[in-house]
């Protein structure tokens, strides 16, 4: 992940250097007095001047290289400041999620509308990094709380509370599951309005957010995308004080197609083109209302997608010679294996036996699954500090899946949920609005940074979270 820092050098930087270097060299040479006499003294003088010039120009070149690489990635927008609102009376952030929009999908086809946002906005050059596990509910809720799943409580799309044995599903709206403070709650706590056209957690009543009718849509996957966009646009027809300061808009695609056919099928190209059309419809609607340049549009996804096929499988039943893992112990199979053995079994012992089997060379694809006590997972995953996380977690290599037993089912498709270090799990971050530089590329970052970004744009104080306090300043334009 650290290798992303190389992306701070945009393709523009070398061009700039090439232009600048001959110029400064020329200027230095012409400023040295042209020698008149051909004496040894003057030859010596000339060579001295020349070598000084060479040394000087080299020093300047080095200084320039240093300066251009240590300064912001976009030399052209160094003097740019945030643009004032022209029509809206207060800042508005519209957060759009296109589920499973893997980073790179934007190059699959002609996407003129998304390109408008990119060209005149700020983009994470190598994509947005999801949190682990790279699943829909944990990530959407990290985006709006700034918290890693261990701290916001939605540690999976499906899990069991170890205290009460109650089961969380994607349809659970009881507040007790949803920890942290999502953006809509922060926004209404400050006396501002928020609206949600779908987002995991948005239906949940928390603090002063009670999912108000007309401003908070209950999840219904059958609502056509066009209708969602039209409803969001209608909020801009309200009187100024009623226009929500923060809005969400959610599309299930291209995740839906990605699971069925994997990331490289023409169906994905079609779904991406359709999402682009929705962005086009939105931009046109905002332009018709004269507010496109005033609204901050942040387009993200929750995670990427990788192709899976029936050859890349690991079966828990193959471990029987080392340890039997009954289905009742398994809370989640794949790509994140989550196991909770009953009391009386030592999780440490279970992990040791499973890994012994997996590494024996006698289990098909065993080398592609590693099993951990959650406390021993790599700390960069931040996946331990919650009782809701089962004691045993298995990580599979990219594209692999875990199943209980062999079946005759043959299938190829797509999956996500893997280690967030895999590039295939990355998604997009594209932001367009008054506080974002036009045409700027920034290094990749984790989605827990978005909470502070939104509260900074809205100029409100956010709740404590796992984002970096200085992050917003690093990607937003200064106010003057």
Asked whether the beta carbons of 395 and 133 are under 8 A apart, the reply is: no
Q: Which of residues 133-152 bind ligand NAG (CB under 6 A)?
A: 147, 151
Question: Hey, which residues are catalytic here?
Answer: 136
Query: Is residue 111 at the binding interface for ligand NAG, with CB under 6 A as the rule?
Result: no
Q: 3-state DSSP call for residue 455?
A: helix
Q: How far apart are CA 270 and CA 466, in angstroms?
A: 36
Does residue 99 touch Zn ion according to CB under 5 A? yes
- 466 binds ligand NAG per the rule CB under 6 A: yes
Q: Would you give the binding string for Zn ion spanning residues 246-285, x where CB under 5 A is met? A: ---------x------------------------------
When binding is defined by CB under 5 A, the residue of 136, 195, 427, 465 that contacts Zn ion is 136
What's the CA dihedral at 121, 122, 127, 133 to 10 degrees? -100
What gap in Å lies between CA 48 and CA 314, rounded to an integer? 72
Q: Which of 302, 398, 419, 446 binds Zn ion (CB under 5 A)?
A: 302
173 binds ligand NAG (CB under 6 A): no
Q: Which stretch binds Zn ion (CB under 5 A): 227-235, 297-305, 315-323, 325-333?
A: 297-305
Provide the CA 416 distance to its chain's centre, in angstroms: 14
Q: Does 185 bind Zn ion (CB under 5 A)?
A: no
Distance, CA of 449 to CA of 204 (rounded, Å): 23
| Calpha distance 108→20 (Å, rounded) | 36
Query: Number of helices and strands (H, E) in the chain?
Result: 12, 17
Tell me which of 465, 471, 475, 477 binds ligand NAG, using CB under 6 A: 465
Q: Beta strand 412-415 with 93-98: parallel, antiparallel or unpaired?
A: unpaired
Q: What residue spans of 359-479 are helical by DSSP H? A: 450-458, 471-475
Shortest distance, CB of residue 157 to Zn ion, whole angstroms?
9
Binds 116: which of Zn ion, ligand NAG, none (CB < 5-8 Å by kind): ligand NAG
| Binding residue for ligand NAG, selected from 17, 116, 256, 289, defined by CB under 6 A | 116
**What span, in angstroms and rounded, lies between the C-alpha atoms of 249 and 231?**
10
> DSSP secondary structure string, 212-243?
-TTTBPPP-TTS-HHHHHHHHHHHTTS-GGGS
Contact between 222 and ligand NAG (CB under 6 A)? yes
Is there binding between residue 87 and ligand NAG (CB under 6 A)?
Answer: no
Per rule CB under 5 A, count of chain residues that contact Zn ion: 5
Q: Which does 380 bind (CB under 5 to 8 A by kind): Zn ion, ligand NAG, none?
A: none
- Which of the stretches 55-63, 82-90, 94-102, 154-162 binds Zn ion when contact is defined by CB under 5 A? 94-102
CB-wise, 116 or 205, nearer to ligand NAG?
Answer: 116
Structure token digits, residue 450: 């978005």
Nearer to ligand NAG, 151 or 315 (CB): 151
Convert 174-199 to b/e letters by CB count within 10 Å (16 or more is b).
eeebbbbbbbbbbbbbeebbbbbbbb
Using CB under 5 A as the binding rule, the residues of this chain from 419 to 478 that contact Zn ion are: none
Alpha helices (H) in 289-412, listed in sequence order = 347-358
Task: Write the binding mask 372 to 401 for ligand NAG: x where contact by CB under 6 A, - elsewhere.
Answer: ----------x-------------------
Residue 72 is a binding residue for ligand NAG (CB under 6 A)? no
Cis (ω within 30 of 0) for the bond into 335? yes
Q: List the x/- string, 191-220, binding to ligand NAG by CB under 6 A.
A: -----------------------------x
How far is residue 436 CA from its own chain's centroid? 17
Residue nearer to ligand NAG on the CB measure, 40 or 220:
220
Q: Which residues bind ligand NAG (CB under 6 A)?
A: 116, 119-120, 147, 151, 220, 222-223, 382, 464-466
Q: Which residues bind Zn ion (CB under 5 A)?
A: 99-100, 136, 255, 302
């Amino acid at each position: 992940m650290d290798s992303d820092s190389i992306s701070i050098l945009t393709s523009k930087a070398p061009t700039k250097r090439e232009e600048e270097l001959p110029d400064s060299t020329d200027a230095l040479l012409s400023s040295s007095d042209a020698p008149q006499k051909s004496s040894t003294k003057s030859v010596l003088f000339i060579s001295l001047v020349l070598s000084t010039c060479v040394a000087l120009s080299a020093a300047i070149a080095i200084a320039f290289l240093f300066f251009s690489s240590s300064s912001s990635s976009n030399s052209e927008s160094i003097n740019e400041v945030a643009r004032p609102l022209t029509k809206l009376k207060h800042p508005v952030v519209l957060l759009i999620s296109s589920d499973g929009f893997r980073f790179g999908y934007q190059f699959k086809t002609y996407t003129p509308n998304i390109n408008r946002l990119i060209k005149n906005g700020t983009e994470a050059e190598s994509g947005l990094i999801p949190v682990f596990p790279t699943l829909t509910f944990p990530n959407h809720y990290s985006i709006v709380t700034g918290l890693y799943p261990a701290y916001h409580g939605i540690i999976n799309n499906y899990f069991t509370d170890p205290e009460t044995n109650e089961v969380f599903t994607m349809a659970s709206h009881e507040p007790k599951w949803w920890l942290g403070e999502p953006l809509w709650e922060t926004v209404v706590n400050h006396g501002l309005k928020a609206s949600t056209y779908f987002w995991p957690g948005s239906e949940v009543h928390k603090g002063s957010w009670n999912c108000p009718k007309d401003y908070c849509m209950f999840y219904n996957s059958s609502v056509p995308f066009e209708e969602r966009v039209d409803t969001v646009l209608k909020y801009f027809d309200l009187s100024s004080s009623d226009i929500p300061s923060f809005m969400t808009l959610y599309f299930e695609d291209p995740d839906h197609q990605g699971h069925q056919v994997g990331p490289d099928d023409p169906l994905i190209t079609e779904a991406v083109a359709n999402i682009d059309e929705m962005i086009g419809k939105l931009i046109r609607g905002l332009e018709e209302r004269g507010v496109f340049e005033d609204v901050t549009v942040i387009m993200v996804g929750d995670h990427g997608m990788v192709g899976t096929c029936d050859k890349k499988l690991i079966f828990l039943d193959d471990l029987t010679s080392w340890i039997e893992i009954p289905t009742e112990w398994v809370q989640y199979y794949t790509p994140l294996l989550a196991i909770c053995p009953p009391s009386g079994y030592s999780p440490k012992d279970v992990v040791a036996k499973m890994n012994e089997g997996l590494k024996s060379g006698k289990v098909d694809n065993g080398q592609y699954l590693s099993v951990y006590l959650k406390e021993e997972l790599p700390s960069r995953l931040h996946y331990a500090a919650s009782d809701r996380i089962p004691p045993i977690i298995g990580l599979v290599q990219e594209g692999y899946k875990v199943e209980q037993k062999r079946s005759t089912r043959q299938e190829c498709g797509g999956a996500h949920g893997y280690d967030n270090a895999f590039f295939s799990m990355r998604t997009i971050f594209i932001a367009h609005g008054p506080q974002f530089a036009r045409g700027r590329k920034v290094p990749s970052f984790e989605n827990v940074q978005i909470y502070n970004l939104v509260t900074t744009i809205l100029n409100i104080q956010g709740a404590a979270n796992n984002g970096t306090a200085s992050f917003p300043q690093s990607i937003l334009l200064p106010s003057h």
